[in-house]
């Protein structure tokens, strides 16, 4: 997306998960950094007893030596993905690398430390120390009420999800240690951007096949769209969040539904996947024998194999272009994608 008609330059955000270097052999050097503004390096964990933030895979994060690394260096040097991302930044000066904390696997560890002053203090200080020691950057938190060491922090805090009002209030306190009531506008004072996870609207947990990242609700087939991006964006705006701070999340994968007649219809099972049952990498879609389809009403693409009765919900080129226009027309802050791997070797879907 390029600036035009006075529109500001948008954020283009991609997540890199530390385990990508193993079975998938996807390395930081494979990222097409010239197309991005931010990389979220995922995930750091939280110690549930203390709130201390720490890296989870030392080999991938800081220890792995790549061919360009020396084995004769002296001192405490950082290697692994962190160094490679630093070298990537040197070649692409527009790029910012932020540490992502939590995610689905580790989110249960937020609740206890977020509930106490000591836990929140430990979380904040250890997160900032980690960012500083690793040479990461960005500014996602800001406020005159946040202690000075918090003002330069670059973090993506990914708590999926506060389970009740108490945990929600504690999330606010985690972002700003003086607030006691959950309100999006209160949280907004302490955030530079909202990364909206506008995907996983439908999946194996449902009873009917559905679109996993549709823009609009489908009135003619409501079962196909249990959630919608437009509803979420409208709710954030209504709560006082500036559209320019909302970064739209999009999937670089598809979710499959087997033994179904298509969107809104019952299904049985999700079948195989690229690396997880029912989840296919973008680069292999559509599958052989499947036909891509576009649902104009919901603003969603998918493929359907009539012979196998298999539907896969994912963003194709038309969906990505439509969402780029949606970001522009709504005045949103940009786009983010989960996740890198080597999906972009096929070509980013919005090229």
What's the average model confidence in pLDDT over 334-349?
Answer: 67
290-313, pLDDT tens digit by residue? 999 999 999 999 999 999 999 999
What's the average model confidence in pLDDT over 176-191?
Answer: 57
Active site annotation includes 160:
yes
Q: How confident is the model at residue 10 (pLDDT cuts 50, 70, 90)?
A: low
What's the average model confidence in pLDDT over 88-117?
Answer: 87
Between CA 345 and CA 295 the distance in angstroms is 27
Q: Which of 43-57, 89-103, 135-149, 160-174 has the lowest mean pLDDT?
A: 135-149
Q: Average model confidence (pLDDT) for the chain?
A: 83
Instruction: Write down the pLDDT at residue 4.
Output: 43
Instruction: Write down the pLDDT at residue 342.
Output: 55
Q: Is the peptide bond before 195 cis (omega within 30 degrees of 0)?
A: no
Instruction: Write down the pLDDT at residue 258.
Output: 98
Instruction: Write down the pLDDT at residue 165.
Output: 80
CA distances from 126 to 14, 53, 100 (A): 24, 6, 14
What is the separation of C-alpha 54 from the centre of its chain, rounded to a whole number of angstroms? 19
* pTM exceeds cut of 0.75: no
At residue 56's C-alpha, the angle toward residues 53 and 59, to 5°, is 135
245-304, pLDDT tens digit by residue? 999 999 999 999 999 999 999 999 999 999 899 999 999 999 999 999 999 999 999 999
Question: Higher pLDDT residue, 108 or 169?
Answer: 108
What's the average model confidence in pLDDT over 85-105?
Answer: 86
Instruction: Write down the pLDDT at residue 340.
Output: 75
Instruction: Write down the pLDDT at residue 124.
Output: 82
120-170, pLDDT tens digit by residue? 888 888 888 888 888 886 433 322 223 333 333 456 778 887 888 888 778
Q: How confident is the model at residue 192 (pLDDT cuts 50, 70, 90)?
A: confident
Residue 193, pLDDT > 90, answer no
Instruction: Write down the pLDDT at residue 137.
Output: 66
Residues 6+ apart with CB under 8 A from 322: 215, 299
What are 264's two structure tokens?
């809104």
β pairing state of 38-46 and 96-102: parallel
Phi, psi at 255, each rounded to 5°: -110, 130
Say which of 160, 292, 297, 339 is annotated catalytic: 160
Q: How confident is the model at residue 198 (pLDDT cuts 50, 70, 90)?
A: very high
Residue 231, pLDDT > 70, answer yes
Residue 45, pLDDT > 60, answer yes
Instruction: Write down the pLDDT at residue 41.
Output: 86
Instruction: Write down the pLDDT at residue 109.
Output: 92
**Neighbouring C-beta atoms of residue 87, cutoff 10 Å:** 13
Instruction: Write down the pLDDT at residue 96.
Output: 85
């Amino acid at each position: 997306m390029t600036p035009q008609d006075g529109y500001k330059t948008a954020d283009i955000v991609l997540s890199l998960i530390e385990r990508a270097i193993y079975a998938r052999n996807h390395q930081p050097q494979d990222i097409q950094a010239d197309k991005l503004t931010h990389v979220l390096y995922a995930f750091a964990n939280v110690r549930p007893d203390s709130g201390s933030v720490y890296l989870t895979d030392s080999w991938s994060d800081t220890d792995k030596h790549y061919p360009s690394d020396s084995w004769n260096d002296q001192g405490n040097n950082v290697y692994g993905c962190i160094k490679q991302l630093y070298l990537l930044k040197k070649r692409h000066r527009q790029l910012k690398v932020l540490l992502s904390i939590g995610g689905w696997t580790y989110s249960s560890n937020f609740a206890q430390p977020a509930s106490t002053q000591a836990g929140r203090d430990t979380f904040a200080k250890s997160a900032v120390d980690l960012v500083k020691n690793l040479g990461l950057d960005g500014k996602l938190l800001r406020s005159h009420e946040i202690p000075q060491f918090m003002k330069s922090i670059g973090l993506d805090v990914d708590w999926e999800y506060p389970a009740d009002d108490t945990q929600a209030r504690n999330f606010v306190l985690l972002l700003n240690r003086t607030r006691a009531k959950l309100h999006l506008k209160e949280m907004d004072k302490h955030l530079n951007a909202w990364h909206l996870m506008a995907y996983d609207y439908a999946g194996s947990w449902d009873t009917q096949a559905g679109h996993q990242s549709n823009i609009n609700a489908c009135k003619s087939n409501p079962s196909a769209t249990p959630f919608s991006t437009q509803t979420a964006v409208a709710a954030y705006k209504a709560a006082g969040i500036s559209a320019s701070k909302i970064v739209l999340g999009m999937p670089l994968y598809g979710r499959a539904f087997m033994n179904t007649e298509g969107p809104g219809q019952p299904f049985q099972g999700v079948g195989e996947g690229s690396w997880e049952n029912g989840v296919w990498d973008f680069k292999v879609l559509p599958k052989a024998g499947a036909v891509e389809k576009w649902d104009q009403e919901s603003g969603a693409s998918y493929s359907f194999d009539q012979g196998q009765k298999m539907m896969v919900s994912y963003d194709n080129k038309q969906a990505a272009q439509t969402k780029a226009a949606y970001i522009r027309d709504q005045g949103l802050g940009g786009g983010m994608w989960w996740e890198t791997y080597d999906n972009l070797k096929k070509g980013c879907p919005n090229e």
